[in-house]
Structure formats: C-alpha cells, structure tokens
Amino acid sequence: MEWLQQLVNGISVGSIYALIALGYTMVYGIIKLINFAHGDVFMLGAFIGFFAIARWDLGFIPALIISMVLCAVIGVIIERVAYKRLRNATRIAALITAIGVSLLIEYTVIYFRGASPEAYPDGVIPKASIDIFGASISSQSIMILVVTIILMVLLQFIVHKTKIGKAMRAVSHDADAARLMGINVDNTISATFAIGSALAGAAGVIFGVYYTRIDPLMGVLPGLKAFIAAVLGGIGSIPGAMFGGYILGIVETIVSAIGFSLWRDAAAFVILIIILIVKPSGIFGKNAREKV
C-alpha cells in the first residue's frame, strides 16, 4: 500500500532528524544554549563515515562507531573552546558564538577539501526488500530504524540509570545546587556535548548511506529541521525530540507524496510557526514561570 510505503520512508527520514534533535535538546536542557554548530557536527560525522567506508574499507557498523567517537571528541572541544567561557554571558552572545562556530567548521572543511560533494559507495548495507501488506520496505530503512531505536534506548539508559545521567538531570534542574552537592558541572556539561555530538555523528553516517550524496554545507538544512523537531516536541525534553523528529519526517514525506515536493522544506517551517502560535512550549514541554 502506498500510505504504508510513505510511512516507512517518513520514519526513516524522521530517525535522522530525531538523532540530531536529541543533541539540541540535551544541550539546551543543561545550559539553555541553542548550539547551531550541531548541524555541522552532523556533517563531520557524515564525512568521517565516508572516509571510514570508502577509504579504509570498513563496514557500516565500524564506520558508525568511529564517527560517533570522533564526533564526541569534536563536541567536547567545541564546548571547551567556544562555549565554556560564555557560561555567564548573555544569551545573544552565546547564540552569535554558536553561529560563528558553525561557519568556522563549514568553511574550514571547504578550505581543506573543497566544496565538491562526495558519494557514499553502493552496497554499504546489502540491498534487499521485504513486502509487507503490499509495501516494499528496503533493508536500508530497516537498518536505519533498528540502529536509531538502539541508540535511543541506550540514551535513555544513560540518562536514567547511570551516574553521569543522574548528574546531567541534576545540573539541568539546578546547576548551583548540583555544584553544592559535589557534582562536577563542567565535566557534566562536556559529557552532554559528547553524547549529543556522538548521536549527530551517527545521524551523519545514516544520512550518507540513505541519501548517498554529502557535501560540506549539508548540515545547514537538516540542522535547522532538527531544531524545529526539538521545538515541536518541547525543547529540553528527550522524548519530545524523538517524537518531533518522527512527526517532521512523516509530514515531509506526506507533503512530497501528495505532489507538493517543492514545499517539502517549507512544511517544516510552517510547523514551527504553528507550534509557536498554538503551544510555544512544544508538545511535551511545560510552561515555566520566569521571574523578572
């Protein structure tokens, strides 16, 4: 059935948005910063995965792991170099710095390797298809969904069952109180950036395998859409980021399927406008009172 086929395609695209959105929402939940360089970490993850697969002849899973590890390191470096000294600065200063870091990453990559796109090799994931109720579901879509679910379950385990996860939740609730209780806030923030960047790196490899074509500016639009997904779900909420990513992916696919493919990207921004008018805190977000 056509609708089932489009639903599967939408879930595959939404998985990528959800993984990137998790990084946005985790960082915002901890230090109230919109890390606009996050989309470019996603881009770096795609290129690391490409070199691991095309140049080093590694398989999909080893390339995924290498990309996640290196992107985690890159995320920590970005936090320590660019954001750490802005903890007590104004929101606008941190936001401008994030945009500056984004541009720096993009054009550093262009300087060293040029702006020409690369193409992931065929057969990274063996091509096969499964027919379910008349819909042909590719092995790529199944692999993307399985990997995404595993990573999201792992993230939930880290956040709710580990020591660093408890520290992250404490810092998110009240950083000063967490510091008084002996929690190393700086290390906790760095760990948050590492985990979020690792998920973005995984999304980059998945994107490369699914869409094949990658380039140094590829992180801009998916990064913005993932930010919209985080806002849709309720920025600061991990389940909200997952839900928002999947909703956005499904809506985009439906818009393309009904013949409005040129409006596919615009649909994400229409959703952003509607959610900001109707429920600014997002679907899973809660309205918070702010003293002035």
CATH number at residue 19: 1.10.3470
Q: What is the pLDDT of residue 49?
A: 92
d(CA 228, CA 127): 32
pLDDT by residue (tens digit) across 108-152?
999 998 888 888 888 777 777 777 766 677 777 788 888 888 988
In a domain, 284, yes or no: no
Residue 227 has pLDDT above 50, yes or no: yes
Cα torsion angle, 223, 153, 155, 58, sign: negative
d(CA 214, CA 201): 13
Domain count, the chain: 1
Q: Return all residues near 168 (Cβ < 8 A) that are at least 6 apart.
A: 26, 30, 159, 188, 191, 192
In a domain, 285, yes or no: no
d(CA 5, CA 3): 5
d(CA 128, CA 32): 43
In a domain, 287, yes or no: no
As beta bridge partners, residue 135 has 132
Residue 292 has pLDDT above 50, yes or no: no
In a domain, 106, yes or no: yes
In a domain, 286, yes or no: no
d(CA 273, CA 267): 10
For residue 198, the enclosing domain spans 2-278
